[in-house]
Structure 1
């Protein structure tokens, strides 16, 4: 059976991948960006008695730029062996043209809830009540770590679009579409740069303290206070 795991929420999709891996007694994991048709053919044709099931995980198979003919060849070989357990994991949402190569596959997509993006675009001073209510609504379907990660990312992007000379000019900012930059610039207009830098450092400290086990309160409570104080 071929299973494709993908989506914007790479943390949740990775957790699901680990669950799938635990189902297999025998398993090989390959970096999809590096694997070739020859590697796959050798794997499936091998006769290692310790690896009878020939279960395989391919990570980020669609990330590498390949010709359509090469992709079709790889897909054909995988489908010829779909009686085995074949898992394709993508850290992003896979394009439909890739999914269409495997019409009989089981597709598991992990995307962020739409309300999360509305929440991120609403990060601005004086909006604490709405942010607090929305934050707890999102917590019903998303892990707190994911939400914090996305808040950190959003503030970093805001800093990136208003201060082109700073360390916040990350590669992700440079790759944004013009309309995305315009929306970020509009949101950044609610802050002055010093204040935005200050809350970024504060959030970074909360995140670091949580990850190192030194946060003095539950993470949810710390984010509650943070949102009210933006």
Structure 2
């Protein structure tokens, strides 16, 4: 079984890559099977044969389904299994899990540009001028809608880091960075920012507001 891993923090590109694989498989009349049903064992699905004698194309979108038993089974059986398997994850898959998979698995990693990471790290109270300058530089090449989703996720992560950083599913270094950044906010500030981002989303979708202007005002008013 040919296996490909898609992961990384640039979820836009990793998802586009997944869709390309699925489109190609369907274009070849392969049988596409999403492994989303937790009540059916992966071993059972991956070792089953196609009813139509077609090439099989499996997509796994929940890495939690790759437990110790599943990984051990995959390492023993994958060379004899038919078809193709794509493992897709929004964010980074832990190195310990990657290293436990079969050695010839192909891993494709999608990283956000450094300029975007720097911008996200600069979003905190008292730094609105710098954040706005970097925001406008970024949207010269990236869609404001994409940056909006990253900012919204950042605020949710900062709140999480503020109230319960130990439960975060990120590498230690990432959780530590978020905790430091969250210390620059009060819990109420983060709640207000999350709420305001939801309002902006609705306003833009109902054409009551322009996204770039709304984000500018958010940073001016909430990060002053």
**Shorter-normalised TM range:** 0.7 to 0.9
Q: TM-score, normalised by structure 2?
A: 0.73
Q: Distance in 2 between matches of 1:99 and 1:21?
A: 22
Task: Give the corresponding residue for 1:183.
Answer: 180
Task: Give the corresponding residue for 1:41.
Answer: 47
Aligned partners of 1:3 and 1:108 also within 8 Å:
yes
Aligned partners of 1:144 and 1:220 also within 8 Å:
yes
Please give the secondary structure, in 2, of the residue aligned with 1:153: helix
Q: Indicate yes or no: 2:18 matched with 1:17.
A: yes
Aligned partners of 1:5 and 1:88 also within 8 Å:
yes
Q: Distance in 1 between matches of 2:50 and 2:156?
A: 51
Aligned partners of 1:206 and 1:215 also within 8 Å:
no
Distance change in 2, residues 1:199/1:29 (3 Å):
closer
Q: Distance in 1 between matches of 2:189 and 2:161?
A: 15
Q: Distance in 1 between matches of 2:134 and 2:11?
A: 22
- List gaps (5 residues or longer) in structure 1: 163-168
Task: Give the corresponding residue for 2:113.
Answer: 113
Q: Distance in 2 between matches of 1:195 and 1:173?
A: 17
Q: Indicate yes or no: 2:200 matched with 1:209.
A: no
Distance change in 2, residues 1:126/1:96 (3 Å):
closer
Corresponding residue pairs, total: 210
Task: Give the corresponding residue for 1:53.
Answer: 55
Bigger share in helix: 2
- List gaps (5 residues or longer) in structure 2: none
* Pick aligned residue for 1:229 from 198, 221, 224: 221
Q: Distance in 1 between matches of 2:8 and 2:213?
A: 28
Aligned partners of 1:5 and 1:90 also within 8 Å:
yes
